[in-house]
Structure formats: structure tokens, C-alpha cells
Amino acid sequence: KLIYENGKYYLHLAIEVKIENEKVKERTNVVSVDLGILRPITAFDGKQVITYHGGELSSKLRYKNKRLADIQCAMSKCKKDSKRYRKLKQAKKRFLSKINNQIRDILHKITSHFINWCIQQNACTIVIGDITNIRQDNNKGKLVNQRLHQWMFRKVITMIKNKAELFDIKVKLISEAYTSKICPICGTLNNIKDRNYKCACGFEYHRDGVGAINIYKKYLGDSQVVAELAPAVGVRFHSHLRGHGVKYVPWELAISQ
């Protein structure tokens, strides 16, 4: 399919890919996923929590908002259909194409790294907390509302599904209600205001990690016992790196005290 976009032609080709994987039938593990704004993906495989830092993604979104506001402000001062107005309109179109490609690239690299991790954990099923209605009747101030409406969780889910399908990994959605508030050890419902989850029973962990753990328990049954948790592993995206663009780094808030 030949597509013309922003003065350039792009040829889109659909290619059938055959994945050879002899160990696919041996996979029996479940990986749960808690989706977030600051951490796009936080996952749990029954023993280990892995969380993806969204700093690079957030930076791109902030720059997108600022640049668009500047261009829109300049356009508002021009006479419509004037030469300068048309130039600004074209500049806006080119900028959106470039920044959206960069954002899409980050999401692809994060989800690709995540699927590779799932394969290493012998996962046959990925269970994602369903947050479809999170934007409805949710007024938490201008900044938070903006982040919520720009949150690309549907795109993340779609990318996970498409990549998981290549390796015969099933993807299921379940309700994530209260999963970030319930203590996975004693079951107490706590209202958490910061990134570190603390319960009166002594349990302490990263809040998104708690969400992923409870989604895991919810899918397998509340009676599922959580083993002694290792410190969460953080993955930070670096746009200047080649390959899949991510590397492991220490994650201070994710370390259980």
C-alpha cells in the first residue's frame, strides 16, 4: 500500500512471519500487568516484579504539548490563510508526524522488551488490568486530567497483543479495581498517596508492583500465596541507544524495605 504523508511517499508491506519456537508448549507461567502513566508497564511473574520507567515517554509528551501550544499561539495571531498561517500549519503537521513517530517508537521498544522478558519467564498467558473506563467521571485537576487523556494504554495493550500473538502467548483483560490498594499479604484496603505502598502488617513495596501482584492473585484466585518478593527490577528507556533501546538500572522506590 502506497501512502503519501507530509510530502513523502511511504510503502507499507504486509509480510507473513513464521515463528519457530519448539518450547512454546512447555510454557505454563502467568505474567500479570499493571498499566500506568509514569510506569507504562509493571509486571509480575509470581516471583519477580519488573517495572518500565516512562520518563522518556513523559518527556516527549510534555514537549509535544508545549510545542503545539507555541505553534497554536502563533497561528492565532495570523490572518487565516495568510502565507505565515499556512507555513505554521505545515510546520505543525510536520512536527506532529515526527513526534508521534518518536512516541510510537518508544512504545514499540518497551513492549518488545517486555514480550522478550515474558518468553524468558516461560509465560503462556499475560493478564492485564482493564482500565477502559478510567477516564470517565475522573476530574483530578488540569495536569492529571491532561495526563489521563494522553495516556496511550489502548495502544500499549494492542502492541502487547500483537507481539504476544507471534509467540502464541494469550492476552487476557480482568478488572483492576482496588488492586493497587489491597495489601497482597493481609488483604487490608489502604489508601496510598505516594509511590511506596505501606501496610500496618509490615508489608512495603512499590505501589505499581502491588497492583501487578494483586492482578496476578485475582486471576489465579485470591488464595494464591505470594512468595517472598525480590526487589523489583527497573527498566529505563534511552532513546540514544541502538537495538531495543532499553537497559536495566537500579530502581530506588521499587526496593522493598
Rounded to whole angstroms, the Cα distance separating 251 from 246 reads 14
Enclosing H/E stretch for 113: helix 83-120
Specify the pLDDT at position 141: 54
In this model, does residue 32 exceed pLDDT 80?
Answer: yes
Q: Residues 122-153: pLDDT tens digits?
A: 999 999 998 876 545 555 555 545 555 556 88
Rounded to whole angstroms, the Cα distance separating 135 from 43 reads 22
Mean pLDDT taken over the chain: 81
Percent of the chain with pLDDT over 70: 77
Phi, psi at residue 218, to the nearest 5°? -65, -40
Tell which residue, 41, 251, 24, has the closest CA to residue 127. 41
Is the separation of the CB atoms in 169 and 27 below 8 Å? yes
Strand partners, 196: 206
How big is the chain by its Cα radius of gyration, in Å?
Answer: 21
In this model, does residue 108 exceed pLDDT 60?
Answer: yes
Q: Is 133 exposed, middle or buried (0-12, 13-18, 19+ CB in 10 A)?
A: exposed
How many residues are given for the chain? Answer: 257
Rounded to whole angstroms, the Cα distance separating 38 from 56 reads 10
**Torsion, CA 29, CA 43, CA 238, CA 164, rounded to 10:** 50
CATH class of 28-54+110-254: alpha beta
Q: Residues 70-81: pLDDT tens digits?
A: 999 999 999 988
Q: Residues 167-190: pLDDT tens digits?
A: 999 999 999 888 989 998 888 999
Going from N- to C-terminal start, the domains of the chain cover 28-54+110-254
